[in-house]
Amino acid sequence: MWDEQAEHPVKIDENGMVHVYGHAETVEVYGDPRNYSNNIAPQFLGDTEDAGEFNSGSLLQSDPPHHTKLRKIISRAFTPRMVAGLEPRIVEITHELLGAADAEEAGGFEMVDDLTYPLPVIVIAELLGIPHSDRGLFKKWVDQMLAAAGVMAADDSTGEQSEDADTAAALRRVPEMLAYLHEHAADRRRKPRADLLSELVHAEVDGARLSDDAVVDFANELLVVGHGTTTALLGNMLLCLDAHPQEMERLRKDPARAPGVTEETLRFLSPIAGSYRLATADTELAGVRVSQGQLLTLWLGAANRDERVFEQPHVFDPDRTTNPHLGFGRGIHFCLGAPLARLEARVAVNILLDRYPTLRTDPDNPPEFLPIPDLIGTSKLPLLTG
Ligand code: HEM
C-alpha cells in the first residue's frame, strides 16, 4: 500500500471522492484555500440554511476572508499564554482522575474512561469558564454530541455508518448545551471574568467583535475538534510507548523527552487520519484532474508516512531531527488548539510514568479501537500497573 502511495499520491474513487495520500500534495491543498474550500457543510448536510448558521462562528468550516477575520479575533482571546496558565490545573485534574481510578481498582485501569476521555472535556470546560458544579451536566452533553458523531460508538455492531452520516451528526449540536453556552456568554458580556468566554465576547480587531451566536458556535467547535482528538492522542502515545519499551524507559529517565514523543506519535499514529476540502474550481493535483464540486480527503496518516519526506517512515523515532508531520494540519487552518493538546500530552504522559513504575497493555484484555475511519484512537485501553 505504501509503495502505491508514492506512485499514486492522489487517486479518485468510483464515487468521485479525491483521495490525497502524499505529503507534498496535502501541503499543496492546505496551502490553496482559494481552490480548496473548508466550507464542505452543504455537501454533508444538503441544507444551506443549516450550513450558513453553522458557519457563523466556526473556523474550521469557513474560508477567507471570513476565516481570516474570525481567526484574528479568536486568536486575540485564545492565546498561548492563556493555555500555558492551565498547566497547574491540568496537573491537578490528571492526578484527581488517576487517584479515583486507583481507589476503584488495584493493579490497573482502563485509560480511556478513567483519564483520556474526561481530561480534555474538563480542561475545555474550565478554559471556557464553566462552573465546576456544572461539570457533570456539561460532560453529559458532550457525551451526547460525540455519541451522535459515532466517536465513542465502540459498541456499534454494524460498523457500517457512512462517513456522510457521521459527519452530519457531528456537525449537529446539543440544543441544551447551546442554550447553556448562550446564557454564559451573555453573563460574561455583563460581568467579565478570567475565562475564555469573557475574552471571546470582548475580543476586538479593527472594531469587529464576535456576536454571542459566533462565540457559542466557536465554543461548540472547541469541543467537537478538541476533545476526541486529544483523547486519541493520549491513548496513541501510550500505545507507541508500550510497543517500544526502550522509548518508555528513556522517557521515564528524562521527562524532557515528552515533546519529541508527542510529535512522533502525531506522525506515527495521527489522531486525525483524514481532513476534508471541497474543490471550488477545476484544478490538477499530482497530474490528476480534480473538478469543481469534488470532495477531497487528505489522508494525514498516509502523508505522515510519506517516504519522500520521512526517513524510515514506519519506524517510531522520537529523535527525528526534523518532523514536519501534518497531524495538526498546515496553513491557515493549522490547529488552534495545538499548544493545549501538546501541553496535555506532556503533562499526562509524565504523570502516568511518575505514578506507575510499571505500565503496560494487558494481553488478556487488548485495546479496542474507534469504529470510524478518520479518527485513529482507542475506545478502550486497559493498562496493567503491576
Ligand atoms: C484544526 C488536529 C486538538 C482546536 C485542526 C486541524 C487538525 C487538527 C488536523 C486542521 C483541520 C483542517 O485544516 O481541516 C488536532 C489534533 C488534536 C487537536 C490531532 C489533538 C491531538 C485541538 C484542541 C483544540 C483544537 C485541544 C482546542 C481546544 C482546533 C480548532 C481548529 C483546529 C479551533 C480550526 C482552526 C481553523 O480552522 O483555523 N486540528 N487538533 N484542536 N483545531 Fe485541532
pLDDT tens profile 144-162: 887 776 654 433 434 344 4
Rounded-to-integer distance, Cα 113 and Cα 104, Å: 13
Residue 296 Cβ inside 6 Å of ligand 1? The answer reads: no
CA of 343 to the centre of ligand 1 (A): 14
Residue 328 Cβ inside 6 Å of ligand 1? The answer reads: yes
DSSP code per residue over 286-336 = TTEEE-TT-EEEEEHHHHTT-TTTSSSTTS--TT-S-----TT--GGG--T
Domain boundaries, the chain: 2-384
ipTM of the complex: 0.99
Residue 330 Cβ inside 6 Å of ligand 1? The answer reads: no
Phi, psi torsion values for 284, nearest 5 degrees: -135, 140
pLDDT tens profile 194-238: 999 999 999 988 888 999 999 999 999 998 899 999 999 999 999
Q: Identify the band that residue 172 occupies on the pLDDT scale cut at 50, 70 and 90.
A: low
Residue closest via CA to ligand 1's atom 26 equals 226
Residue 148 Cβ inside 6 Å of ligand 1? The answer reads: no
Rounded-to-integer distance, Cα 21 and Cα 15, Å: 17
- What atom in ligand 1 is closest to the CA of residue 61? 37
For domain 2-384, give its CATH number from 2.30.110.20, 3.40.190.10, 1.10.630.10, 3.40.50.410: 1.10.630.10
CA of 338 to the centre of ligand 1 (A): 7
- Contact between residue 10 and residue 25 where contact means Cβ atoms under 8 Å apart: yes
pLDDT of residue 94: 98
Residue closest via CA to ligand 1's atom 43 equals 335
HSE, side-chain direction, 13 A CA sphere, residue 19: 15
Q: Is the pLDDT of residue 382 over 90?
A: yes
- Contact between residue 41 and residue 204 where contact means Cβ atoms under 8 Å apart: no
For a mutational test of ligand 1's pocket, the pick from 127, 225, 325, 349, i.e. the residue with the most ligand atoms closer than 8 A to its C-beta, is 225
Residue closest via CA to ligand 1's atom 7 equals 328
pLDDT tens profile 28-56: 999 999 999 999 866 555 444 343 333 46
pLDDT tens profile 16-28: 999 999 999 999 9
Residue 327 Cβ inside 6 Å of ligand 1? The answer reads: yes
> CB count, 10 Å around CB of 109?
23
CA of 272 to the centre of ligand 1 (A): 9
- Contact between residue 172 and residue 386 where contact means Cβ atoms under 8 Å apart: no
Q: Identify the band that residue 15 occupies on the pLDDT scale cut at 50, 70 and 90.
A: very high
Query: How distant, in Å, are the alpha carbons of 236, 315, 321 from that of 307?
Result: 22, 11, 15
Residue 71 Cβ inside 6 Å of ligand 1? The answer reads: yes
CA of 60 to the centre of ligand 1 (A): 8
CA of 22 to the centre of ligand 1 (A): 20
Query: How distant, in Å, are the alpha carbons of 47, 265, 308, 320, 384 from that of 261?
Result: 42, 6, 22, 10, 21
Closest among 154, 158, 133 to 143, alpha carbons compared = 154
pLDDT of residue 139: 85
pLDDT of residue 224: 85
CA of 227 to the centre of ligand 1 (A): 10
pLDDT of residue 371: 86
CA of 333 to the centre of ligand 1 (A): 8
SS3 278: strand
369 pairs with which residues across the strands?
Answer: 378
Residue 344 cell numbers, joined? 496535555
Sole residue written with cell 486507583: 102
Rounded-to-integer distance, Cα 118 and Cα 116, Å: 6
